[in-house]
Amino acid sequence: MQNWRKLNGERFDIPIKQAVEETIKRETQAGHRLKVCIGTDSQVHNTTVEFASVIVFLREKKGGFMYILNFKMEKTLGLRERMILEVAKSVEIAYDLCDLLDAYHVELEVHADINTDPAFKSNVALREAMGYILSMGFVFKAKPDAFASSSCADKVI
């Protein structure tokens, strides 16, 4: 079982899919309409790449909260490979949750920490990332609209 946690550090002792379902039920019963945004970001430290993936729950007009997964990889990666790995992790999480989110009619977006402006280095992976996410049937967002990866995940690495 992966080590998902809340922003306050509280760890889940149940599988993340079960935690997400309980969250959807609780939030729906409280009268909130939800949207889920999934994103991953990474930082390189010598030969270690640290990743953070987030599941962001947005309550329509009432704020939001997120669940966090941190993990590391001992490997030297090029920028394009690292960007695609970030997207792959987000897609893996989205794929695991999509049937559940569909059952509860919760919108899903996959956010990539990739800039749409060709002047930025991360743009080298834009086409592949967008194709990968869209081919899986998910809604794709890139910078500056990809807050789940570029703001939320970035803050918890």
pLDDT at 119: 87
Strand spans (E) along the chain: 5-6, 34-45, 48-59, 64-74, 107-115, 139-143
At 125 the pLDDT is: 87
The residue-averaged pLDDT of 128-132 equals 90
Which tops the pLDDT comparison, 19 or 118? 19
Q: Are 74 and 99 in contact (CB under 8 A)?
A: no
What's the pLDDT at 34? 98
CATH assignment, 5-155 = 3.30.420
Q: Which pLDDT does position 21 carry in this prediction?
A: 98
pLDDT exceeds cutoff 80 at 1 = no
pLDDT tens for residues 25-77?
Answer: 999 999 999 999 999 999 999 889 999 999 999 999 999 999 999 999 998 88
